[in-house]
């Protein structure tokens, strides 16, 4: 049986990794591949992933904030960095 801190650490790492993946997806769409439909394969990947990425864009900051509250707002926690990445990704999506 695993302790709650080990479980929370695994969730925190998963949320952090998911935040990085969402950041890479939206940053690549916004800055590196401006016309995703120019290459058929890239357009297909974009079409398959846009809905899950939008859902994750809304859900991940909430999960990160909940874990940050549970960790008593420690600035060194992985939840804090995950929240920063999520907020940065939202800014990228909104401003682009």
Sketch the domain layout of the chain as residue ranges: 4-95
The answer for 16, left when phi > 0, alpha when psi is -120 to 50, beta otherwise, is alpha
8: helix, strand or coil: helix
**What's residue 8's pLDDT?**
74
Q: How confident is the model at residue 75 (pLDDT cuts 50, 70, 90)?
A: confident
At 25-60, the pLDDT tens digits run 999 887 888 788 888 888 898 899 999 999 999 999
**What's residue 76's pLDDT?**
82
Tokens of 35: 């016309």
Distance between CA atoms of 40 and 58, rounded to whole angstroms? 28
Average pLDDT over the chain, rounded to whole?
A: 87
Note the pTM of the prediction, 2 decimals.
0.84
Distance between CA atoms of 22 and 57, rounded to whole angstroms? 7
**What's residue 1's pLDDT?**
40
């Amino acid at each position: 049986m695993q302790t709650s801190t080990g479980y929370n650490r695994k969730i925190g790492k998963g949320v952090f990794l998911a935040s990085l993946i969402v950041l890479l997806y939206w940053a690549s769409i916004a800055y590196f591949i401006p016309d995703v439909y120019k290459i058929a394969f890239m357009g297909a990947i974009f079409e398959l992933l846009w809905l899950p990425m939008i859902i994750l864009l809304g859900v991940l900051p909430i999960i990160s904030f909940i874990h940050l509250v549970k960790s008593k707002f420690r600035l060194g926690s992985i939840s804090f960095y995950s929240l920063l990445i999520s907020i940065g990704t939202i800014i990228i999506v909104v401003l682009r």
